[in-house]
């Protein structure tokens, strides 16, 4: 089951069930957040509520996308109440690219880098028995709801950025119930956009490199995540031609951690269980154009697709000007 948030021709918000090339409008709700909260309070399955609420009004997906009316599949009316975070070194192919990137700045190739040490912890202990905590993964903060972009919207990097590169990932989308219990609404394909040149200068710059916009969607996958996800990541030049393309895999069959372990190490903190909040949590990747020596230029487009998630996620790279951040004294 795939859900979409979008707007009608007058700007009114809608939520719908995506079936092939049509979106069937869900009646009685205009946001995924409201739908999820109602399912939590009624103690019913989200899919059941969708099936009971979907109507006969339809929109063509192609028309909605072409007119720029797609929204991120889950958001919060107050952007400050949406946390955007992620994990890294969680995929069986992810350590090599990261290790190579860090070793380019020096170090003994015979000695494990911090990246490889972290990766090995996951391989050895990232898939514990059900109900138990395994190895703690890398974790980072990206921002709040103001940084999340929908399919078709540009990813704008600051002019001080040294790079703007894609990271094709699966993200878990969550709502915290009135009782402080995290509820997973579903999963979405995402672009956990980062500055890899800044990170390569010193891995302690990872936090800086992650403070960028990101994109998720267009659709939200309701239910459990398939164990194997196959997709393709592309960079399209300004004319729309494929400049770089590479397959990627995700899902627990291709990961060194279980989803449950990654979720535990995020939601074990009371800060992240505040009733009413939304969380977008990225699960990591093993495929980067940057690792293949590609530098994406403003005006080029990222395209990430995986059939399990429906339509492809496309975002053009742009740049915005910044000013010196002068602080005033009161």
- CB-based contact 230:165 (threshold 8 Å): no
Q: Specify the pLDDT at position 96.
A: 57
Q: Specify the pLDDT at position 94.
A: 56
Count of beta carbons in the 10 Å neighbourhood of residue 16: 24
Q: Which tokens hold the place of 202?
A: 């010193």
Per-residue pLDDT of the chain (330 residues; tens, 9 = 90+): 999 999 999 999 999 999 999 999 999 999 999 999 999 999 999 999 999 999 999 999 999 999 999 999 999 999 999 999 999 888 876 555 555 544 543 445 467 777 778 888 888 899 999 999 999 999 999 999 999 999 999 999 999 999 999 999 999 999 999 999 999 999 999 999 999 999 999 889 999 999 999 999 999 999 999 999 999 999 999 999 999 999 999 999 999 999 999 999 999 999 999 999 999 999 999 899 998 999 999 999 999 999 999 999 999 999 999 999 999 999
Q: 């490889």: which residue's tokens? A: 116
pTM more than 0.75: yes
Q: Which helix (H) or strand (E) holds 160?
A: none
Q: Specify the pLDDT at position 105.
A: 38
Q: How far is CA 34 from the centre of its chain?
A: 21
- Give the fold, CATH level 3, of 74-320: Fumarylacetoacetate hydrolase; domain 2 (3.90.850)
Q: Which tokens hold the place of 210?
A: 């992650």
Q: Specify the pLDDT at position 101.
A: 46
Tell me where in the chain the CATH 3.90.850.10 domain(s) lie.
74-320
Q: 């429906």: which residue's tokens? A: 310
- Burial (CB < 10 A; 0-12, 13-18, 19+), residue 94, is buried
* Strand segments (E) across 177-260: 182-191, 214-216, 220-221, 229-236, 242-250
Q: Specify the pLDDT at position 104.
A: 43
Q: Specify the pLDDT at position 247.
A: 94
């Amino acid at each position: 089951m795939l859900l979409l948030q979008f707007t009608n021709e007058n700007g009114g918000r809608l939520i719908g069930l995506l079936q092939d090339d049509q979106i069937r409008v869900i009646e009685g709700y205009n946001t995924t957040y409201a739908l999820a909260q109602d399912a939590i309070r009624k103690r019913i399955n989200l899919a059941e509520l969708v099936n009971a609420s979907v109507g006969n009004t339809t929109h063509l997906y192609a028309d909605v996308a072409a007119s720029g009316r797609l929204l991120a599949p889950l958001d919060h009316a107050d952007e400050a109440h949406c946390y955007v975070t992620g994990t890294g070194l969680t995929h069986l192919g992810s350590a090599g690219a990261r290790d190579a990137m860090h070793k380019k700045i020096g170090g003994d190739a015979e000695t494990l880098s911090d990246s490889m040490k972290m990766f090995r912890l996951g391989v050895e202990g990232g898939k514990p028995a059900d109900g138990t905590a395994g190895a703690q993964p890398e974790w980072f903060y990206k921002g709040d709801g103001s940084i999340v972009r929908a399919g078709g919207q540009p990813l704008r990097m600051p002019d001080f950025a040294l790079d703007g590169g894609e990271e094709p990932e699966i993200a878990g989308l969550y709502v915290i119930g009135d009782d402080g219990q995290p509820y997973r609404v579903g999963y979405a394909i995402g672009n956990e956009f980062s500055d890899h040149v800044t990170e390569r200068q010193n891995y302690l710059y990872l936090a800086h490199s992650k403070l960028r916009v990101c994109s998720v969607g267009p659709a939200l996958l309701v239910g459990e995540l398939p164990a194997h996800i196959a997709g393709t990541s592309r960079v399209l030049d300004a004319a729309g031609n494929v400049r770089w393309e590479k397959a990627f895999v995700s899902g627990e069959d291709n990961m060194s951690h279980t989803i449950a372990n990654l979720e535990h190490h995020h939601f074990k903190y009371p800060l992240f269980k505040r009733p009413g909040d939304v969380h977008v949590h990225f699960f990591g990747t093993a495929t980067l154009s940057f690792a293949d020596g590609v530098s994406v230029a403003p005006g080029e487009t990222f395209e990430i697709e995986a059939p399990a998630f429906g339509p492809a996620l496309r975002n053009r790279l742009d740049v915005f000007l910044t000013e010196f951040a002068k602080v005033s004294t009161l």
